[in-house]
Amino acid sequence: METVAPDCQHPPGRFVPRIDRNACEGKGPCVPACPYHVLALGTLDARQRRGLSLVGRLKAWAHGYRQAQLVAADLCRACGACVRVCPEHAITLQRSLPGETP
């Protein structure tokens, strides 16, 4: 049976959460907040680490490079729950582009 959050307004995949890698501290309230299991905590890969600012690198190192990761971006329905619970204001919703890999 499909779970539907009451304030979801878009079909899956139209929007995608963007995580500011220089802001996320891997605290993780976004993970249980998402009714569609779009997010999980994980470790930044080499490509993600290369994109960090100096301050972002220091913060990421201090948190063991643990951050929120998109594990099922195509299931996002743009309900905004993850945006609301992030204490670092690190998540925004952006319209996804055709063929784009988040």
Q: Nearer Cβ to ligand SF4, position 59 or 77?
A: 77
Residues engaged in binding ligand SF4 (CB under 6 A): 17, 33-34, 36, 38-39, 76-82, 93
- For ligand SF4, the closer of residues 31 and 52 by Cβ is 31
Q: How far is the CB of 82 from ligand SF4 (least distance, A)?
A: 3
CA 73 to chain centre: 9
Could you tell me the smallest distance in angstroms from the CB atom of residue 86 to ligand SF4? Answer: 9
Q: Which is nearer to ligand SF4, 35 or 57 (CB)?
A: 35
Q: Tell me the residue type at 69.
A: Q
- Closest of 56, 47, 66, 50 to residue 21, by C-alpha: 56
- CB of 34 closer than 8 Å to CB of 81: yes
Query: What letter represents residue 59's amino acid?
Result: K
